[in-house]
């Protein structure tokens, strides 16, 4: 009761909707959707970014990154959105500053704090001349010990005051998936808050209850617990994905086995659940791989072990090899391979740690002729793959040119691949990693090879004969 009353007081009174201003540092893949959603919920938002192009775009209400619904939100709520390159203007004129800048992984797998620390210097410098309470929220993913350690120290040193009654600090990491950021911000599974003190946590909680609604599921704790929780959630999810893929590898070789049937049945057990238990290709993107590696690094740094995280990563790394082996097995000499899907997941152009990119590279390096297609990612893909992989403008074009096509990213349009696309009589296979196509419908036109289904996968010499 006492807590709810406090939240209501902070939320509706001092930190109420009227007059509340928030600055968002970093207008990238997560920052600009955060700006848009906060403005949609009635907050006045000022964005700031080291990239002047992003600042200009936000001021012109143009989405700086591709993300579903972002442009519509920026247009609709433009009256409450602005951006600047002037730190004093952004920080001094707002009550809360949220920070969503990169924390790239170092060679040892630990996240680097350089960008966040330089932001703390800038924010603190302005706060040194600003009186009254200010809350700083770090959204960027950090290693356990960072927010309560070097990040807090840099902020305090620059601001000339301690984190406490006059300066709040929260760690509030994001679990959001690209391609679904706006929806994810509005309907998250839960909100994770690491807080310097109750007042700081109450303010952030009040904002979330306004943005998401009173039902928001919010876990509050100290910084280090929140930092460990963030990478643990992603490591648990990747462990589930790798478990599913390990099962798929066994089903590739076990006579009569179909991984879809087995995974579906396993997922009915409420202790396990179906989410992310979908055997197909390895995980990729800007979070899952590096959070899993960082988890292993944390264990190592504290003198422990993280065997499950390490095995998860090992299984993930060999998924591209698994696909290349299948292609090598079925492609005719001097044949052409097609890779369908180069973004790490549908509805985003992001190709970081993408299985499609890795497969295209592996097939090219194996000396095959490779064509590839992606509905959104051809520009970044070309920068990585170069001229050695021919990018085509439709899935149909890729399949027509190929002897073996592999559907890597489950873009909805790849589920629409139709038998009448291939009428030239050429012998052709489509490796259907997500088992979306109906093999019988393609009878006589092309062979559908369903990943994780031994009836259609035969890796020579490695079959487990059940005779
Ligand atoms: N992208 C995701 O799916 C995702 C999901 C969860 C968490 N995260 C975490 O969020 C953080 C940011 O990720 P992102 O994908 O939005 O990154 P991003 O690279 O898309 O955007 C970061 C932005 O910060 C700006 N920036 C860098 N240094 C700056 C500085 N000193 N001052 C002002 N602006 C600066 C950059 O110009 C860029 O626009 C990372 O820690 C990442 O791990 C990302």
* Residue range 93-136, pLDDT digits in tens: 999 999 999 999 999 999 999 999 999 999 999 999 999 999 99
Q: Where are the beta strands (DSSP E) in 247-334?
A: none
Q: State both tokens at 235.
A: 């490591």
- Does any ligand 1 atom lie closer than 6 A to the CB of residue 28? yes
Cα 32 to ligand 1 centre (Å): 10
For residue 312, what pLDDT is reported? 98
For residue 455, what pLDDT is reported? 72
Q: State both tokens at 259.
A: 């991984």
Which among 155, 94, 80 has a CA at the least distance from the CA of 125? Answer: 155
Ligand 1 probe mutation, 36, 66, 99, 100, most atoms within 8 A of CB: 100
Half-sphere exposure of 421 (CA within 13 A, CB side): 21
Distance between start and end Cα atoms, the chain: 67
Question: What is the side-by-side strand order in the sheet with 404-407?
Answer: 389-391, 369-373, 336-340, 404-407, 429-432, 447-450
For residue 371, what pLDDT is reported? 98
Q: Residue 137 above 80 pLDDT?
A: yes
How far is the C-alpha of 358 from the C-alpha of 108, rounded, in Å? Answer: 21
- Does any ligand 1 atom lie closer than 6 A to the CB of residue 179? no
Least confident of 2-11, 44-53, 289-298, 407-416: 2-11
How far is the C-alpha of 219 from the C-alpha of 205, rounded, in Å? Answer: 9
- Binned at pLDDT 50, 70 and 90, residue 458 comes out as low
Which among 290, 181, 282 has a CA at the least distance from the CA of 240? Answer: 282
- Does any ligand 1 atom lie closer than 6 A to the CB of residue 118? yes
Identify the three-state secondary structure at position 443.
Answer: coil
Is the CB of residue 294 less than 8 Å from the CB of residue 109? yes
Please name the helix (run of DSSP H) or strand (run of DSSP E) that holds residue 23, with its range, or none: strand 21-25
Instruction: Return the bridge partners of 407, or none.
Output: 340, 432
Cα 451 to ligand 1 centre (Å): 35
Say which residue the tokens 């911000």 belong to. 185
Is the CB of residue 127 less than 8 Å from the CB of residue 161? yes
Please count the other Cβ atoms lying within 10 Å of the Cβ belonging to residue 265: 9
Which among 107, 84, 72 has a CA at the least distance from the CA of 27? Answer: 84
- Does any ligand 1 atom lie closer than 6 A to the CB of residue 350? no
Per-residue model confidence as pLDDT tens digits over 204-238: 999 999 999 999 999 999 999 999 999 999 999 99
- Ligand 1 atom closest to the CA of 119, numbered from 1: 31
The percentage of the chain sitting over the pLDDT mark of 90, rounded to a whole number, equals: 89
- Does any ligand 1 atom lie closer than 6 A to the CB of residue 54? yes
Alpha-helix runs per DSSP H in 136-255: 152-159, 181-186, 198-212, 223-253
Model pTM score: 0.92
For residue 453, what pLDDT is reported? 87
- Ligand 1 atom closest to the CA of 173, numbered from 1: 7
Which listed residue (170, 287, 433, 446) is catalytic? 287
Pairing verdict, β 81-84 and 96-99: unpaired
Q: Residue 11 above 90 pLDDT?
A: no
- Binned at pLDDT 50, 70 and 90, residue 9 comes out as very low
How far is the C-alpha of 232 from the C-alpha of 50, rounded, in Å? Answer: 31
How far is the C-alpha of 415 from the C-alpha of 261, rounded, in Å? Answer: 19
What does the CA dihedral 332, 336, 337, 339 come to, rounded to 10 degrees? -160
Q: Mean pLDDT in the chain?
A: 93
For residue 459, what pLDDT is reported? 55
User: Of all protein residues, whose CA lies closest to atom 29 belonging to ligand 1?
Assistant: 50
- Does any ligand 1 atom lie closer than 6 A to the CB of residue 49? yes
Cα 139 to ligand 1 centre (Å): 9
Which among 111, 454, 439, 129 has a CA at the least distance from the CA of 292? Answer: 111
Angle between helices 378-385 and 355-365 (to 10 degrees): 40
Which among 385, 381, 417 has a CA at the least distance from the CA of 398? Answer: 417
Asked about 287 being catalytic, the answer comes back as yes
Is the CB of residue 194 less than 8 Å from the CB of residue 223? yes
């Amino acid at each position: 009761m006492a807590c709810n009353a406090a939240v209501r007081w902070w939320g509706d009174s001092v930190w109420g909707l009227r007059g509340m201003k928030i600055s968002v540092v970093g207008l990238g893949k997560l920052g600009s959707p955060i700006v848009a959603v906060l403005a949609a919920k009635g907050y006045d938002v000022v964005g700031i970014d080291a990239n002047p192009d992003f600042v200009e775009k936000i001021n012109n209400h143009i989405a700086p990154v591709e993300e579903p619904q972002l442009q519509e939100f920026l247009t609709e709520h433009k009256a409450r959105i602005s951006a600047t390159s002037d730190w004093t203007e952004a920080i001094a004129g707002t009550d809360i500053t949220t920070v969503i800048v990169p924390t790239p992984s170092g060679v040892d797998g630990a996240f680097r704090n350089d960008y966040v620390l330089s932001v703390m210097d800038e924010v603190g410098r302005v706060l040194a001349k600003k009186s009254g309470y200010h809350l700083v929220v770090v959204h960027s993913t950090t290693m356990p010990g960072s927010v309560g350690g070097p990040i807090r120290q840099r902020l305090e040193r620059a601001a000339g005051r301690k984190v406490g009654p006059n300066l709040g600090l929260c760690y509030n990491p994001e679990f959001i998936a690209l391609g679904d950021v706006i929806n994810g911000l509005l309907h998250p599974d839960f909100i994770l808050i690491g807080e310097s003190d109750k007042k700081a946590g109450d303010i952030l909680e009040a904002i979330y209850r306004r943005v998401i609604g009173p039902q928001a599921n919010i876990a509050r704790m100290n910084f280090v617990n929140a930092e460990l929780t963030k990478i643990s959630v992603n490591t648990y999810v990747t462990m589930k994905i790798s478990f599913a893929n390990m099962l798929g590898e066994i089903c590739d070789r076990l006579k009569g086995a179909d991984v879809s049937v087995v995974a579906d049945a396993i997922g009915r057990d409420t202790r396990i659940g179906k989410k992310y238990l979908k055997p197909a290709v390895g995980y990729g993107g800007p979070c899952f791989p590096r959070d899993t590696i960082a988890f292993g690094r944390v264990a190592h740094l504290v003198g422990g072990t993280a065997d499950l995280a390490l095995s998860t990563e090992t299984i993930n790394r060999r998924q591209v090899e698994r696909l290349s082996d299948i292609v090598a097995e079925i492609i005719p000499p001097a044949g052409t391979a097609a890779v369908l899907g180069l973004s790490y997941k549908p509805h985003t152009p992001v190709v970081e740690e993408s299985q499609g990119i890795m497969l295209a590279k592996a097939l090219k390096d194996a000396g095959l002729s490779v064509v590839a297609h992606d509905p959104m990612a051809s520009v970044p893909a070309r920068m990585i793959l170069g001229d050695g992989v021919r990018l085509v403008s439709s899935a149909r074009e890729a399949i027509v040119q190929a002897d073996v096509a592999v559907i890597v990213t489950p873009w909805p349009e790849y589920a629409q691949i139709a038998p009448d696309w291939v009428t030239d009589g050429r012998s052709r296979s489509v490796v259907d990693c997500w088992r979306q196509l109906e093999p019988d419908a393609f009878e006589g036109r092309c062979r559908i090879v369903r990943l994780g289904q031994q009836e259609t996968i035969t890796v020579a010499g490695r079959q487990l004969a059940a005779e």
